[in-house]
Structure 1
Amino acid sequence: MKKALQPAMTGAYYAQCVISFAVALGSVALGIVFLPIDPWIRAFLAIAVLYTVTTAFGLAKCVRDRQELDSMSSRVDQARLDKLLSEHDPYKVDTP
Protein backbone atom coordinates (compact mmCIF):
# COMPACT_ATOMS: atom_id res chain seq x y z
CA MET A 1 0.00 0.00 0.00
CA LYS A 2 1.35 3.41 -0.95
CA LYS A 3 1.45 6.03 1.75
CA ALA A 4 0.26 9.47 0.74
CA LEU A 5 2.95 12.08 0.97
CA GLN A 6 2.20 14.89 3.38
CA PRO A 7 4.17 18.09 3.12
CA ALA A 8 6.42 18.50 6.13
CA MET A 9 6.09 21.61 8.23
CA THR A 10 9.40 23.43 8.27
CA GLY A 11 10.85 25.09 11.33
CA ALA A 12 10.69 28.46 9.61
CA TYR A 13 6.97 28.10 8.91
CA TYR A 14 6.30 27.05 12.50
CA ALA A 15 8.33 30.01 13.82
CA GLN A 16 6.47 32.39 11.49
CA CYS A 17 3.11 31.12 12.77
CA VAL A 18 4.13 31.44 16.42
CA ILE A 19 5.62 34.92 15.93
CA SER A 20 2.59 36.08 13.96
CA PHE A 21 0.25 34.85 16.69
CA ALA A 22 2.34 36.52 19.41
CA VAL A 23 2.46 39.84 17.54
CA ALA A 24 -1.29 39.81 16.89
CA LEU A 25 -2.21 38.94 20.47
CA GLY A 26 0.33 41.40 21.87
CA SER A 27 -0.95 44.20 19.65
CA VAL A 28 -4.53 43.68 20.75
CA ALA A 29 -3.45 43.44 24.40
CA LEU A 30 -1.49 46.71 24.16
CA GLY A 31 -4.43 48.36 22.42
CA ILE A 32 -6.75 47.30 25.21
CA VAL A 33 -4.31 48.44 27.92
CA PHE A 34 -3.85 51.92 26.46
CA LEU A 35 -7.47 52.62 25.53
CA PRO A 36 -8.86 55.65 27.39
CA ILE A 37 -11.78 53.72 28.89
CA ASP A 38 -13.04 52.55 32.26
CA PRO A 39 -11.37 49.48 33.81
CA TRP A 40 -14.54 47.37 33.62
CA ILE A 41 -14.79 47.96 29.84
CA ARG A 42 -11.09 47.13 29.51
CA ALA A 43 -11.67 43.89 31.46
CA PHE A 44 -14.63 43.02 29.23
CA LEU A 45 -12.52 43.50 26.09
CA ALA A 46 -9.68 41.42 27.56
CA ILE A 47 -12.06 38.56 28.36
CA ALA A 48 -13.57 38.82 24.87
CA VAL A 49 -10.12 38.53 23.28
CA LEU A 50 -9.19 35.55 25.47
CA TYR A 51 -12.48 33.85 24.62
CA THR A 52 -11.90 34.43 20.92
CA VAL A 53 -8.39 32.98 21.14
CA THR A 54 -9.48 29.88 23.03
CA THR A 55 -12.37 29.19 20.66
CA ALA A 56 -10.02 29.64 17.69
CA PHE A 57 -7.75 26.95 19.16
CA GLY A 58 -10.76 24.71 19.71
CA LEU A 59 -11.93 25.22 16.14
CA ALA A 60 -8.45 24.49 14.79
CA LYS A 61 -8.40 21.24 16.79
CA CYS A 62 -11.80 20.22 15.41
CA VAL A 63 -10.71 20.91 11.84
CA ARG A 64 -7.48 18.93 12.38
CA ASP A 65 -9.37 16.00 13.93
CA ARG A 66 -11.86 15.95 11.04
CA GLN A 67 -9.02 15.99 8.50
CA GLU A 68 -7.24 13.12 10.29
CA LEU A 69 -10.47 11.11 10.39
CA ASP A 70 -11.07 11.66 6.67
CA SER A 71 -7.47 10.71 5.93
CA MET A 72 -7.75 7.55 8.04
CA SER A 73 -10.99 6.44 6.39
CA SER A 74 -9.52 6.98 2.93
CA ARG A 75 -6.48 4.86 3.92
CA VAL A 76 -8.79 2.06 5.08
CA ASP A 77 -10.73 2.26 1.80
CA GLN A 78 -7.45 2.20 -0.14
CA ALA A 79 -6.29 -0.87 1.82
CA ARG A 80 -9.55 -2.68 1.01
CA LEU A 81 -9.22 -1.82 -2.66
CA ASP A 82 -5.58 -2.97 -2.71
CA LYS A 83 -6.60 -6.28 -1.12
CA LEU A 84 -9.40 -6.82 -3.66
CA LEU A 85 -7.08 -6.02 -6.54
CA SER A 86 -4.35 -8.30 -5.25
CA GLU A 87 -6.82 -11.19 -4.87
CA HIS A 88 -8.37 -10.66 -8.31
CA ASP A 89 -6.95 -12.80 -11.11
CA PRO A 90 -8.18 -11.60 -14.51
CA TYR A 91 -6.96 -14.80 -16.19
CA LYS A 92 -8.83 -17.15 -13.91
CA VAL A 93 -11.66 -18.98 -15.65
CA ASP A 94 -14.72 -19.74 -13.60
CA THR A 95 -15.80 -23.32 -14.21
CA PRO A 96 -19.17 -24.56 -12.97
Structure 2
Amino acid sequence: MKHPNPQKDSSAWIIQTWAAFILSISMTTIGIVNLPVNNWIKGFMGMGLSFTVGSSFTVAKTMRDLHETRKLTARIDEAKVERLLSQHDI
Protein backbone atom coordinates (compact mmCIF):
# COMPACT_ATOMS: atom_id res chain seq x y z
CA MET A 1 0.00 0.00 0.00
CA LYS A 2 1.31 3.45 -0.87
CA HIS A 3 1.77 5.91 1.93
CA PRO A 4 0.97 9.42 0.75
CA ASN A 5 3.58 12.01 1.66
CA PRO A 6 2.00 14.65 3.84
CA GLN A 7 2.47 18.08 2.34
CA LYS A 8 4.41 20.31 4.70
CA ASP A 9 4.14 24.07 4.50
CA SER A 10 7.37 26.04 4.47
CA SER A 11 8.30 28.35 7.34
CA ALA A 12 8.06 31.33 4.98
CA TRP A 13 4.48 30.42 4.06
CA ILE A 14 3.46 30.04 7.72
CA ILE A 15 5.03 33.39 8.62
CA GLN A 16 3.33 35.06 5.65
CA THR A 17 -0.11 33.72 6.56
CA TRP A 18 0.20 34.77 10.21
CA ALA A 19 1.54 38.20 9.21
CA ALA A 20 -1.35 38.73 6.80
CA PHE A 21 -3.85 37.62 9.45
CA ILE A 22 -2.42 39.90 12.14
CA LEU A 23 -2.15 42.82 9.72
CA SER A 24 -5.72 42.46 8.48
CA ILE A 25 -7.18 42.23 12.00
CA SER A 26 -5.04 45.16 13.19
CA MET A 27 -5.94 47.41 10.27
CA THR A 28 -9.65 46.61 10.57
CA THR A 29 -9.56 47.26 14.31
CA ILE A 30 -7.77 50.60 13.78
CA GLY A 31 -10.38 51.50 11.16
CA ILE A 32 -13.25 50.69 13.53
CA VAL A 33 -11.67 52.65 16.41
CA ASN A 34 -11.17 55.74 14.21
CA LEU A 35 -14.69 55.78 12.76
CA PRO A 36 -16.55 59.01 13.46
CA VAL A 37 -19.55 57.24 15.04
CA ASN A 38 -20.88 56.47 18.53
CA ASN A 39 -19.10 53.92 20.70
CA TRP A 40 -22.01 51.49 20.60
CA ILE A 41 -21.73 51.34 16.80
CA LYS A 42 -17.98 50.72 17.11
CA GLY A 43 -18.71 47.99 19.65
CA PHE A 44 -21.24 46.40 17.32
CA MET A 45 -18.73 46.44 14.45
CA GLY A 46 -16.04 45.01 16.76
CA MET A 47 -18.37 42.17 17.75
CA GLY A 48 -19.09 41.52 14.08
CA LEU A 49 -15.36 41.36 13.36
CA SER A 50 -14.80 38.98 16.28
CA PHE A 51 -17.61 36.65 15.24
CA THR A 52 -16.45 36.71 11.61
CA VAL A 53 -12.90 35.72 12.59
CA GLY A 54 -14.15 33.01 14.95
CA SER A 55 -16.55 31.54 12.41
CA SER A 56 -13.82 31.60 9.74
CA PHE A 57 -11.60 29.47 11.97
CA THR A 58 -14.50 27.12 12.67
CA VAL A 59 -15.34 26.70 8.97
CA ALA A 60 -11.67 26.13 8.10
CA LYS A 61 -11.30 23.46 10.81
CA THR A 62 -14.54 21.77 9.79
CA MET A 63 -13.50 21.64 6.13
CA ARG A 64 -10.04 20.30 7.07
CA ASP A 65 -11.58 17.60 9.28
CA LEU A 66 -14.00 16.62 6.52
CA HIS A 67 -11.15 16.39 4.00
CA GLU A 68 -9.05 14.25 6.36
CA THR A 69 -12.01 11.95 7.02
CA ARG A 70 -12.59 11.45 3.30
CA LYS A 71 -8.87 10.80 2.80
CA LEU A 72 -8.85 8.20 5.60
CA THR A 73 -11.99 6.53 4.23
CA ALA A 74 -10.41 6.36 0.77
CA ARG A 75 -7.27 4.73 2.20
CA ILE A 76 -9.35 2.17 4.11
CA ASP A 77 -11.32 1.36 0.94
CA GLU A 78 -8.08 1.04 -1.02
CA ALA A 79 -6.67 -1.36 1.59
CA LYS A 80 -9.83 -3.48 1.40
CA VAL A 81 -9.60 -3.66 -2.40
CA GLU A 82 -5.91 -4.63 -2.23
CA ARG A 83 -6.71 -7.35 0.31
CA LEU A 84 -9.51 -8.72 -1.88
CA LEU A 85 -7.25 -8.69 -4.94
CA SER A 86 -4.45 -10.47 -3.07
CA GLN A 87 -6.89 -13.14 -1.86
CA HIS A 88 -8.24 -13.55 -5.38
CA ASP A 89 -4.75 -14.16 -6.81
CA ILE A 90 -4.18 -17.17 -4.53
The answer, yes or no, to whether TM exceeds 0.5 is: yes
Query: Which residue number in structure 2 is paired with residue 2 of structure 1?
Result: 2
Tell me, what secondary structure is at the counterpart of 2:30?
A: helix
Larger CA deviation: 74-83 vs 5-14? 5-14
Tell me, what secondary structure is at the counterpart of 1:80?
A: helix
> 1:9-46 deviations in whole A, cap 9, x for unaligned?
11111111100100110010000011111000000000
The structure with more helix, counted as a fraction of residues: 2
Distance 1:34 1:43 in 2: 12
CA RMSD after TM alignment: 1.1
Larger CA deviation: 3-12 vs 71-80? 3-12
Amino acid at match of 2:35: L
Q: Which runs of 5+ in 2 are unaligned?
A: none
Q: Superposition pairs for residues 18-33 of structure 1, below 5 Å?
A: 18-33=18-33
Tell me, what secondary structure is at the counterpart of 1:20?
A: helix
Q: Superposition pairs for residues 1-96 of structure 1, below 5 Å?
A: 1-89=1-89
Point out the structure with max Rg over C-alpha: 1
Q: Which runs of 5+ in 1 are unaligned?
A: none
Structure possessing the higher relative contact order (Cα contacts under 8 Å, 6 or more residues apart): 1
- Size of the alignment, in residue pairs? 90
Runs of 4+ with >2 A deviation: none
What is the TM-score of this pair, normalised by structure 1?
A: 0.88
